[in-house]
Amino acid sequence: MPRPTKTRTEKPYIIVFCEGESEQAYTDFLKKEFQDVASIKCPKPKSTSLFEDAKDKFAKDKSYRDYAEVTDEIWFFFDVETKDIVFWDNRLKIIKYLRALRKKQGIKVRLLMTSACIEYWLLLHYELYNPSVQTVAEKKQIMNKLLKHEAHYKKGNGEITKKIAQHYPTAMDNSKKVLFRLLQEGMPGLEDTDERNQWLCQKCLTFSNAHEAIEYLQSLQKNK
């Protein structure tokens, strides 16, 4: 059977690898919210080895391998923690491998990162807050603040996560402000580059850049 091809008029095809159920629920919201301009596929999380799982799927799973040429973007939606600093070099190798799967233009790989826990990104949907978020106690503080805005939130609760996601314009404004402040801490720039992403992954300062995915989807709507 011939491999799929895509015309210029077709919507971008995006595959999102999520670290947990809350990230997946948020991606499901984006899939529905922007269904007019993008086709988003979000496989259920297999394990916390997010990058290895993605490489394994494209190397061994025919349903992924055969669609590489029509895959426009691959997103990784995950938390940045100090314990993962040592994995950057291996992750970058996988990113470069995935980019090269589409021969002509290459596949765009986006890292949608949030300090320590997805709940920080969700909290930004309600307020601008920029504390240290690394220890168990600090993560608990983030959760407690989020619960003041949405008392029924629990990890993996899809309906509540999607309810929170509806406030994404506020989250975009807040997360951009937090990211901009990191320029003063030595971040190489705001552009989505390997150098910047390495800095974010290894410095582990408080931030989320998940808004960059939404900016991209909004740009598709503007150009529709």
pLDDT by residue (tens digit) across 35-84? 999 999 998 876 668 999 999 999 999 989 999 999 999 999 999 999 99
* pLDDT, tens only, 137-171: 999 999 999 999 999 999 888 899 999 999 999 99
pTM for this predicted structure: 0.92
Q: Is 23 a residue whose pLDDT tops 90?
A: yes
What pLDDT band is residue 1 in, cutting at 50, 70 and 90?
very low
Cα-to-chain-centroid distance, residue 102: 21
* pLDDT at residue 124, as a whole number: 98
Q: What whole-number distance in Å separates Cα of residue 124 and Cα of residue 208?
A: 9
Query: Residue holding tokens 């394990």?
Result: 47
Please tell me the predicted confidence (pLDDT) of residue 106. 93
Q: Please, which pLDDT band fits residue 10 given cuts at 50, 70 and 90?
A: confident
What per-residue confidence (pLDDT) applies to 47?
Answer: 62
Count of alpha carbons within 13 angstroms of residue 129, beta-carbon side: 21
Distance CA 54, CA 175 (A): 27
Per-residue pLDDT at 9 exceeds 80: no
Rounded-to-10 torsion of CA 53, 80, 25, 74: -50
- Across the range 109-126, mean pLDDT stands at 97
Neighbouring C-beta atoms of residue 197, cutoff 10 Å: 21
With 80 as the cut, is the pLDDT of residue 5 above it?
no
- Is the per-residue pLDDT at 4 higher than 80? no
What is the end-to-end Cα distance of the chain in Å, rounded? 32
Residue 119 is predicted with a pLDDT of 96
Tens digit of each residue's pLDDT (9 = 90 or more) over 82-110: 999 999 999 999 999 999 999 888 999 99
Enter the tokens of residue 35. 């269904």
- Average pLDDT over the chain, rounded to whole? 92
Length of the chain: 224
